[in-house]
Amino acid sequence: MTAPIAITRNGHRTWLKWHCGKRFPADTPFSRARIIEGLKAGASSEIDLQLTADGAMAVLHDELLEQSTTGVGPVASASAGQVRAARLLDPEGRDTGEGVMLFDELARLVATSAAADSAILQLDLKEELAAFTPESIARFGEAVRPVASHMILSGGDAAAVKRLAETAPGLATGYDPCLDGAMERVMENGRYVDFVAEALQTAPDARMFYLHYELVLAAADAGFDMIAAFHDAGKTVDAWTIRVADAAGLAHAEKVLALKVDQITTDDADGLFAAFG
């Protein structure tokens, strides 16, 4: 079976990004086996990063360990050793027996995985720049430099992304302007042109901009093609997150595909690929 990594429609290729490293909705987030599969297939996968108390980065989406692991408490209050001792939970909350990865380990995994040239891991920072120390920044740089060609660093704090990217020349960057109520405000006031301009000004070096699909569709309904606006500035766009390829999910995917989105974040890459690939 062809790996579900991209859809081509009307001459435009849209990548399917495996949200939290998941190919299927029932997958365990950030399982090593699925991440390696995606790397070998040339897929785009999202990897979330949370800072530990001692400056390591844990491959986890949530701030609290109990939300997705057997551990308890904030990731930010736990040591790297405590985080690694926790085991991943599957979507049903069952102990998988698989330990949580730190970013250093993930980088080594990429280096030894025989990754396809097109394989990209989106490193999504969950912290603002103030949370990082010079030591934690240096540790990130040391880990990412050997595999930077397979990474794009993104987040909602453009300053944090820029500072960490400086540790690895050539590391691509992205920016998410939809966080902290920004998406809701622009959907209420309708100032979509200003929203795009501000995002481009905030992160001028970003290669990709990450936009909630509801924002993209709201702008389109108001007569403004937000994806085209970023394309005109030489940028690419990821629409997040279409979780399941059910009737609603497929309808949303159909609309963002028609707008020539460059990437769709999804928990159901196989379902979208079966419908549109």
The Cα 183–Cα 161 span in angstroms is 20
Cis peptide upstream of residue 96 (ω within 30 degrees of 0): no
Q: Is the dihedral of CA 200, 204, 208, 210 positive or negative?
A: negative
Domains of the chain: 6-56+118-276 (3.20.20.190)
Does residue 164 sit in helix, strand or coil? helix
Cβ proximity of 209 and 238 under 8 Å:
yes
- Binned at pLDDT 50, 70 and 90, residue 240 comes out as very high
Amino acid at 264: I
Residue whose token pair is 């005109």 = 232
Q: How far is CA 178 from CA 8, 88, 215, in A?
A: 26, 28, 8
Q: How is residue 247 written in tokens? A: 């009737």
Beta-carbon contacts of residue 165 (< 8 Å; ≥ 6 apart): 153, 171, 173
- Using alpha carbons only, give the angle 16, 209, 15 rounded to the nearest 5 degrees: 15
Share of the chain above pLDDT 90, in %: 98
Burial degree of 24 (CB within 10 A; 0-12, 13-18, 19+): middle
Does residue 80 sit in helix, strand or coil? helix
- Using alpha carbons only, give the angle 226, 202, 18 rounded to the nearest 5 degrees: 60
Condensed to tens digits (0 to 9), the pLDDT of residues 7-65 reads 999 899 999 999 999 999 999 999 999 999 999 999 999 999 999 999 999 999 999 99
Condensed to tens digits (0 to 9), the pLDDT of residues 113-145 reads 999 999 999 999 999 999 999 999 999 999 999
Q: How is residue 115 written in tokens? A: 């990754």
Q: What is the pTM of this model?
A: 0.96
